[in-house]
Structure 1
Amino acid sequence: MSDFRLQTMSAASAPQRGFSSSEFERRLAKAQARMAETGFDGLLLTTEPEIRYFTGFLSRFWLSPTRPWFLLVPASGKPVAIVPSIGRECFESTWLDDVRCWDSPQPHDEGITLVADTLREVLGEKARIGILEGPETHLRMPLGDFRRLCASLPNTVFADATGLIRQLRMVKSPAEVEKIAHACGLVSGVFGSFAEQLRVGMSGIEIFRRFKIACLEAGIDDVDYLVGGAGRGGYGNIISPPSTRRVENGDILMLDTGSTFDGYFCDFDRNFAFGPVTEETARAYDALLEAVEAGLQASRPGATCAGVFHAMQQILRKDFPGEGGVGRMGHGLGMQLTEWPSFAANDDTVLQAGMVLTLEPSVGLPGGRMLVHEEDFLLTEEGPVLLTTAAPATIPVIA
């Protein structure tokens, strides 16, 4: 593989947690400039990444579906948080000045009256408000509540602002990149030594547990996502929880993790062989490394995601027709495990410097098996820079 590298930071040089107020001010200024261009009087945001993007509010409390959360980003001035009272202290400790709360849960009026009053006060009786309606978004409030909100604001127009938010979040700031790179460096170190913990006869559950513990001990905050599979010469199901099946000689094990540091993900995988690797599997692994190399070579500012996809696909099709049935070969990365855009045949997104992306080619093998490989990289004006330590040239073999 070519020398696409970013020097890995050690746990001792972990980035500072959180962001300065100036980081949020820059994000807000960019958003408001685009709101002016697109005719939005405000944005009403209801989902965790978007609210965190403008406020810095980081909490595992989002796992509970009981309470909705709202953030109003006006066309001028600072955002206004409209949140359950249990979050008052958290939001008052952010850079925001205006935090409005209601006691929750209140199913009969879960903040809707307070949201409507705030929208009228800040934006006026007539306003065009952006919400997220597009692919890879959701509303995260009951549809009935949204209908009641619309009914209480008859002169307000809600319109899709997915494109605006997408353009903001796809390009990462240096402070964001630093956190992603740190997560990549920590987990690269875990993968680099993990073969020492593997033995024939271990169950999938035990392997997953050991990997998570190793990541936490290395300095990762949480292993939010860990999937994988094991099978003779390859694997099939790679998205289910680990099983009690024990690995055998001839198996290939793949672990794919989305681990976080300060709310930012790494997302990559590594393969391990138990016993000798067959010629077919070795050839598939070589093709995946070659495809990643082709993807890196094709990833330049101004290129399209579809172009990078086809560059990888051209390599794989020589010996392994198809893409392993997953539909894309990589994606954006940041506050979410997968973000916009996608390296897919139908995604014409133009790549920009500052994007953090994954390359994830896969090949289908006989018998419903497959092999997958993934790396993370930052796109700069000069080209791609690997954030992960590149996978070994051959699959590590567990004796």
Structure 2
Amino acid sequence: MEDIAKVERFTVSEFQSRVSRAQQAMREHQLDGLLVSSMDNIRYFTGIDSTFWESYARPWFVLVRAEGDPIAIVPEIGRSIMETLWVKEIRSWPSPRRDDDGTSLVIQAVSELPRRFGRVGAELGMELRVGMPVSQVLDIMKGLQGVELVDGSKAIWQLRMIKSEAEVARIRTAIDIAGGVYDTVPDFVRIGDTEKRIQREFRARLNSSGASSIPVVICRSDIGGPFEITGGPRDRKIADGDLLFIDTGTTFDGYYCDYDRNYQVGDATDALLQAHEKVWQANEIGLKSVRAGVSAASVFQAMAKVLSSGEEDLNSNGRMGHGLGLRVTEPPSVKVEDQTVLQAGMVLCIEPGLEYEPGKIVLHEETVLVTEGGMELLTKRASRQLPRIY
């Protein structure tokens, strides 16, 4: 287990390396800069840790230049914390200011960039969100003269999909925190407990174990398996014959874990046990398929062969796995259409699932670090035999 006390702070060289890689990506994608405004991308380039993004009142920006250090363009209220970080050039304004909430400062900073390509990438594409109103994006676009604001998602994900050792250390720690709580579920859950009570106790144990934040805890149950896994916990009491499904996206220092565990409640039907074995085997095959140089699609296809004779139905939920990092889900997607070539340093969640009867779902999820020769399993492998709750 990764010792929380031994996970060192990010060094300045960590962020300088990210900027250097970003500048290389900008050359490849013909960009003069990257303008980011979302919580996770600002954190990625600066190291800022703040809950201020829970408010939509004030936009924040960082302009990563193709040459030189980034510029932070932040509300005056955030200037002091930004000054404690490694970014030296900080521009600010008294926000919120409805007539000009940082817009002119952004336009000025972008306009000052040396123009090689006349293009600046922004968070306009795949699995990204801008941290400002759409009307402000349009105002920035309108105010720029001779510079085009374009989709920078390919360059951004080119960086973020590959994790440094320091990033992986944080993911390991989040995983270990969750794993310790998963192991105790049969000790504190009993037949007759409600999903809401189980979720509250699970969250409390994550918190006391050192979680930084707990954005996601899914707790669902039903006879033979949950019928869906996206809703919140209910007042439903778990009962004999249920499959209890718990999934968590818990963070440590901004980085997520994401994996689930299943628990047999009382006695299970043969159909459930057979489905569980099939999905467990598919997960095993998926894990063994991961290595640098293969495509995300090939990992999907390997699991699909175990679960079904065809791929279409299994792909109906979108995918059977995804990347992981500063977001609970990141590219690539483990699905039949995603031809992303896996590279050493990627962290993936391998997540096969099966609806073995109408309204009865079984899923297994593990997390791996892609290596040149294969993968390193970061989660403790789920037991082949379902843990039991009485």
Q: Same fold (TM over 0.5)?
A: yes
Deviation (angstroms), 1:324:
8.2
Deviations 1:51-101 (A, max 9, x none): 111100121221211111111111111000001111111111110001111
Q: Is structure 2 residue 28 aligned with structure 1 residue 37? A: yes
Deviations 1:319-377 (A, max 9, x none): 99933842210000001000010001110000000000101111002232211110111
- Pick closer, same or farther for the CA change 1:170–1:126 going to 2, 3 Å: closer
Question: Which of 329, 346, 366 is 2:337 aligned to?
Answer: 346
Deviation (angstroms), 1:34:
2.0
In the alignment, what sits opposite 2:160? 169
Deviation (angstroms), 1:318:
5.9
Query: Quick one: distance in 2 between partners of 1:371 and 1:321?
Result: 18
Q: Is structure 2 residue 28 aligned with structure 1 residue 48? A: no
Q: Is structure 2 residue 364 aligned with structure 1 residue 364? A: no
Q: Percent identity?
A: 39
8 Å contact from structure 2 (residues 32, 116) kept in 1: no
In the alignment, what sits opposite 2:172? 181
| Range that drifts further, 350-359 or 59-68 | 59-68
Q: Is structure 2 residue 49 aligned with structure 1 residue 58? A: yes
Deviation (angstroms), 1:184:
0.8
Query: Quick one: distance in 2 between partners of 1:340 and 1:320?
Result: 20
In the alignment, what sits opposite 1:139? 130
Query: Quick one: distance in 2 between partners of 1:116 and 1:289?
Result: 53
Partner-residue secondary structure (3-state), 1:258:
strand
Deviations 1:2-35 (A, max 9, x none): xxxxxx3244x5412x310000111111111221
Structure 1: gaps (5+ residues): 1-7
Query: Quick one: distance in 2 between partners of 1:205 and 1:311?
Result: 36
In the alignment, what sits opposite 2:186? 195
8 Å contact from structure 1 (residues 42, 123) kept in 2: no
Query: Quick one: distance in 1 between partners of 2:315 and 2:389?
Result: 25
Partner-residue secondary structure (3-state), 2:202:
helix
8 Å contact from structure 2 (residues 297, 335) kept in 1: yes
Computed over aligned residues only, the root mean square deviation of the Cα atoms, in angstroms, reads 1.8
The aligned amino acid for 2:237 is: R
Deviations 1:264-316 (A, max 9, x none): 00000001111012111111111111111111111111100000000001111
In the alignment, what sits opposite 1:247? 238
8 Å contact from structure 1 (residues 320, 364) kept in 2: no
8 Å contact from structure 2 (residues 198, 219) kept in 1: no
Query: Superposition pairs for residues 220-259 of structure 1, below 5 Å?
Result: 220-259=211-250
Query: Quick one: distance in 2 between partners of 1:307 and 1:319?
Result: 14
Deviation (angstroms), 1:223:
1.3
Deviations 1:105-149 (A, max 9, x none): 112211101111222234469932111222211223222222222
In the alignment, what sits opposite 1:92? 83
In the alignment, what sits opposite 2:2? 9
Deviations 1:148-200 (A, max 9, x none): 22222221111222111111100000000011011111211111122100111
Structure 2: gaps (5+ residues): none
| Range that drifts further, 149-158 or 382-391 | 149-158
In the alignment, what sits opposite 1:289? 280
In the alignment, what sits opposite 2:269? 278
| Range that drifts further, 319-328 or 210-219 | 319-328
| Range that drifts further, 107-116 or 305-314 | 107-116
Partner-residue secondary structure (3-state), 1:311:
helix
| Range that drifts further, 145-154 or 202-211 | 145-154
In the alignment, what sits opposite 2:108? 117
Q: Is structure 2 residue 367 aligned with structure 1 residue 398? A: no
- Pick closer, same or farther for the CA change 1:146–1:123 going to 2, 3 Å: farther
How many residues are matched?
A: 390
Query: Quick one: distance in 2 between partners of 1:54 and 1:132?
Result: 14
| Range that drifts further, 369-378 or 117-126 | 117-126
